[in-house]
Chain A
Amino acid sequence: MKRIERMKILKNRPIASRIYELELEGDLVKEMKSPGQFVHLKAADGLDTTLRRPISICHIDREAGTFTMLYRTEGKGTQLLSRRQAGERLDVLGPLGTGFPVEGFSHQTRCLLIGGGIGVPPLYELARQLTARGHKVTTVIGFRSAEDVFYEDAFRELGYVYVATEDGSRGTKGFVTDVIDRHISEWDRYFTCGPRPMLRAVEARLGPDGWVSLEERMGCGVGACLACVCDEKNGSGYRKVCTDGPVFRAEEVVV
């Protein structure tokens, strides 16, 4: 049976412009395995928010019984969440969804991870799990400006990292695709998460042999309400982002 846990907040602090790092402790961590999965949480108790907020899992520490999420304050829910304090409890449903694959790749597969903005966090747990299995990880992460950059050093511990900023204040000036055009020639599989225009541009360059993680406004988060759907590529129907995804094979869905 699926369940909900009131998990303990260990840390909830800003690490970049409007980006917060939230660490929680509890039993649900034992069920967290696949990178790219998300949790659906209540930003505040009571009726301040009607819907839960889906936030991707960034780092699982099973030994410590904790996990970390990164979120950007955008609307009411994330604003409320940013005011929650260490020691308080947070109502968490999860882990939910289908994440990135980490098994079944040949020895020392060259993995290219491409993230944009608040799409970067799930790639961190992915990078950890891929390197733990002996694969080679190269990460390309894009942000608007230097003040928005986060986890650059954390990714560097796991492989080579390229940073792109739109205004050129850090790393390559431009988009992740500019980095790919200039620096990336050899890779076996790619994994990407970020805003739709970025995903489209990445897929246009790198083709169907990769995985994309989609973001969509969600209702229930468990596949019942049909709020978060995306088009299948072969034209016939919809897939559910919350349960069939959020990670799909690039050839499977229309980004």
Chain B
Amino acid sequence: MTDMRVSLPGLEMKNPVMPASGCFGFGKEYSEFYDLSRLGAICVKAVTPEMRKGNPTPRVAETGGGMLNAIGLQNPGLSHVMEDELIWLQQFDVPVIVNIAGNTPDDYCRVASAVSDLPNVSAVELNISCPNVKEGGIAFGTDPVIARELTEKVKQVCSVPVYVKLSPNVTDIVSIARAVEAGGADGLSMINTLLGMRIDLNTGRPVLANGSGGLSGAAIKPVAVRMIHAVSQEVSIPIIGMGGVTCAEDALELILAGASAVAVGTQNFADPFACPSIIDGLTETVKRYNVNAISELTGRSWRTSDRQILTAR
């Protein structure tokens, strides 16, 4: 039996699989399908200091092999999340990562400082890559200097490890990754959605009310694999990989690219049981490899010492 546990800053995980932020609410809806304690971790929807209504509808549109979304960070705000959602999650034996967003660095600091004091919050994830809001979001994630400064500021006030969620909508993702590592990030999450658009042939207008949205789903997995492959060789902090994971084989591909853990996003919508079935599938699939622990497979696609055929047994 391969050891499925993975250990990341702040996160002692039973297995490397977690739902991705924004695709799982705060867990309540999916707790009606299975026991959330089965998950390696839970990453909750982005939290901002005040309640946000988000964007007008339509907010989603299917695309070939994926979907576009422009929810616009709708959330009930920091105090409601603290007093309700995060307290509710305490009943499960699972580390919680709180995704954080805001318009200003102070917004990020305020939320990070507050939620990191809760006992079941194991880490925070800085959302500097949301493509669907006018202020903040992606604006912090496309400039290495700004991304580093934000990371430094949050690190000063946050009592749990800080992961930074990177945007693929940049020319050189490695430079952003290096910058946030220098700013003190404990880990990276990558990738967020790719900017995209669909136009309705009947109306001649974009399908999404927001115009553009974030592309996710199976179509973006090769982008995630390539970026994780590149970044993991250039930083020494661990990566939570995400982008188009629909099955155990996809999760394994991200791990081989360089991810230490894997988040499942859009597939939760197609299959509410996506996370537990990927966990089960991964436990089976990994048996083909000559390893004692799944963590040994992280980055095997580029580690020069491991040139042998992987599936030796």
The chain A residues found within 8 Å of chain B, CB to CB, are 1-4, 42, 47, 49-52, 75-77, 93, 216-230, 237-238, 243
Contact = CB atoms under 8 A, between A and B. Distances in A.
B217 interface: yes
B71 A217 contact: no
B270 interface: yes
Contacts of B32: 1-2, 222
Given A1-B33, A226-B54, A226-B59, A220 B74 contact: no
A226 B23 contact: no
Classify the interface of chain A: helix, strand, loop or mixed.
loop
B261 to A, nearest CB: 21
Contacts of B63: 50
Contacts, number: 102
13 contacts: A4-B271, A47-B246, A50-B63, A50-B270, A52-B270, A75-B62, A223-B28, A224-B268, A226-B25, A227-B59, A229-B57, A238-B53, A238-B74
A51 B57 contact: no
A238 B33 CA distance: 25
Contacts of B30: 222, 224
B272 A222 contact: yes
Contact of B62 (A4, A51, A230, A243): A51
Contacts of B34: 1
Given A49-B62, A51-B62, A227-B60, A219 B269 contact: yes
Nearest to A49: B62
How many of chain B's residues touch chain A, expressed as a range? 35 or more
A238 B54 contact: yes
Contacts of A217: 57-61
A241 to B, nearest CB: 9
B29 interface: yes
A230 B28 CA distance: 21
Contact of B272 (A4, A47, A237): A4
Contacts of B271: 4
A249 B92 CA distance: 36
B185 interface: no
Contacts of B67: 50-51, 219
A45 to B, nearest CB: 11
A229 B59 contact: yes
B192 interface: no
Nearest to A228: B57
A41 B268 CA distance: 14
Given A2-B33, A50-B62, A50-B218, 11 more contacts: A1-B32, A3-B33, A4-B271, A50-B63, A50-B270, A76-B62, A219-B60, A222-B30, A222-B272, A227-B60, A228-B60
